[in-house]
Structure 1
Amino acid sequence: MTTTSTRPAVFFDRDGVLNHDAGYLSEASKFKWMEGAREAVKLVNEAGYFAFVVTNQSGVGRGFYEESDVDALHQWMAEELAAVGAHIDAFEYCPDHPEAPIERYRRDSHRRKPGPGMITDLMQRFPVATEKSFLIGDQERDLEAARAAGIRGLLFREGNLATFVRETLKLA
């Protein structure tokens, strides 16, 4: 029998945690990293944790931008992180919204936070040590998603994200 060793994970909300929430952000030119965000991801990498991004992107369902725009922005973020020696293991987003004007995205989705689907999908794809993993979010719906997925949820509202992560990892 082969066992895959598990690793803890940090699930980052995107808007309001990794970057300043500019509302329906889809362009790198409007993206502004949160203070300490790139360093925070690097700290997570160096600690041996998976680093994931889980983000609601109803702007797609609302017709403000395309899924290809979200993918391009995430690729740009990955390149920016690589420049400081950091990486995200996987980006997950949910374009759905129950009131989306675009029909194919108009639905209640278990992947849309506060649903846990993006987190649980990642935990099925990667060997995540659930009991040591946590999510960092800036909204109550992020924390609800974490609880529903069986991991800790931590609220980040302001300050330096690297300092927040460094303190959290000390307690882990």
Structure 2
Amino acid sequence: MTICLANYETCRAVAFDSKLGYCYMAKYLGENCTTHLQTYHNPYTYNPVSETCFRLIETALSWDNADAYCKANGEYLATFATTEASEWLRAKIELDLYPSNSGWGGYSFIGGQKDLIEFAWKGLVTGVIPGNGQLNSDWYDNQPNDSGPGLCVGIALDGWHDISCSNARLFVCEYN
């Protein structure tokens, strides 16, 4: 087991078991985080490209509710600093969900929205999301197309898409 992260501000630690391929997230209490409270084993999956843990939530919510759900658990909607990290997650979604989960619907929310004041795509954690064809972009062809109500970023097997924020979708939380 490899300790990936220890955060003393939140009293959380993340470890990765390479044999099982799972992340373990532990919560602690008390001064200096010395009292063990709880350990989550599965369904966190470690992304070796981004060195973070992801959890696919198989409950469909709007983007705002998905964001609140992740935050309530000390996580955030998934973001990607590199194309490779996003591609890794797309492959994982294909293996774990598609086509076995009929509720998937082709897209899962990740942490990006269109900022209507600056009219730019922004990630919750990463800041400005690169445009199609730019370095570290994983937009599908002709995306974002900025048409209709597509003001949130969804990940599908073929890349990122701009999709409606109000439609209920599965989503991906990240912890690092």
Same fold (TM over 0.5): no
More contact order relative to length (CA 8 Å, sep ≥ 6): 1
TM-score by length of 2: 0.28
TM-score by length of 1: 0.28
Higher Cα radius of gyration: 2
Higher normalized strand content (fraction of residues): 2
Higher normalized helix content (fraction of residues): 1
